Structure 1
Amino acid sequence: MSYDLAVWDGEQPRDEEADAVFDELYERYLDSEDVLAEPSPRIEAYVEALVERYPDDVPGSPWASPPVMDEASGPIVYLLMSYSRAEEVFEYAAGLAREHGLVCYDPQGETLRS
């Protein structure tokens, strides 16, 4: 079981628009085999900082689908966290997104994380 979090580079949408923005980005960059874009520089820096704190190549890693950088494409990364450590990693990942000026979205709760 995993807990998911989406982080993207772009303008902060209004709460009622966040789900539609996420769906469009996910479909365009992550759900399509036609588009395998390199992560944007801001997303790449974010993921690098995230895996510095929570490595994805060690036993007991909190990531359900390592390596984490493989879950990034263009302006978005879709983080899959092991449910057992989700709360710990989720809070750090959301705070780190704020520090990097990125949008953080909880697709399960369909809410923005600020």
Structure 2
Amino acid sequence: MSYDLAVWEGERPADDKAAARVFTDLYERYVHADVEHPPAERIVAYVAALLEQWCDLTEDEEDTSPWSTEPLIGEACGPLIYFPLRWSMAEEASTYAAALAESMGLVCFDPQQKRLRP
């Protein structure tokens, strides 16, 4: 079981409903696209900052990484990264990931609860 987060570039939506619409639009446009979209520079920087806190699964010899996918950057498409976290570490890692996104001027959204983070 995993917990998913979505982080993207752009203006922070006015409320959770607007954020859900933006997420759905970005997901359809970039994740389900027939064309591959390289990750945007700010998303690459965000992933790099996450990996400073916890290593990528590709390097996790001690089973301490919260990520459920490898490599983490592989989940990024254009201005969006939609990534899973291990359920056992979801609270700590998602709190950090949301705060980091906010500090970098990115939007963080919880697709399960359909709400903006933090």
Instruction: Indicate yes or no: 2:39 matched with 1:35.
Output: no
Counterpart contact for 1:28–1:35, Cα < 8 Å = no
Q: Which of 69, 73, 78 lines up with 2:73 in the alignment?
A: 69
Q: CA deviation at 1:98?
A: 0.6
Pairs aligned (count): 113
Counterpart AA for 1:106: D
Partner of 2:26: 25
Q: Which residue of structure 2 aligns with residue 102 of structure 1?
A: 106
Whether the 8 Å CA contact 1:2–1:81 is kept in 2: the answer is yes
Per the alignment, in what secondary structure is the counterpart of residue 66 of structure 1? Answer: coil
**Any runs of at least 4 consecutive aligned residues in structure 1 with deviations exceeding 3 A, and if so which?**
none
> What is the Cα-based RMSD across aligned positions, in Å?
0.9
Corresponding residue SS for 2:6: strand
Alignment TM-score, normalising by the size of structure 2:
0.91
Among the aligned pairs, what percent are the same residue?
A: 52
Flag structure 2 segments of 5+ consecutive residues without an equivalent: none
TM-score (norm 1): 0.95
- Alignment gaps of 5+ in structure 1: none
Whether 1:90 aligns to 2:94 is yes
Note if 1:6 corresponds to 2:10: no
For 1:17, give the aligned amino acid: A
Give distance in 1, aligned partners of 2:105 and 2:85: 21
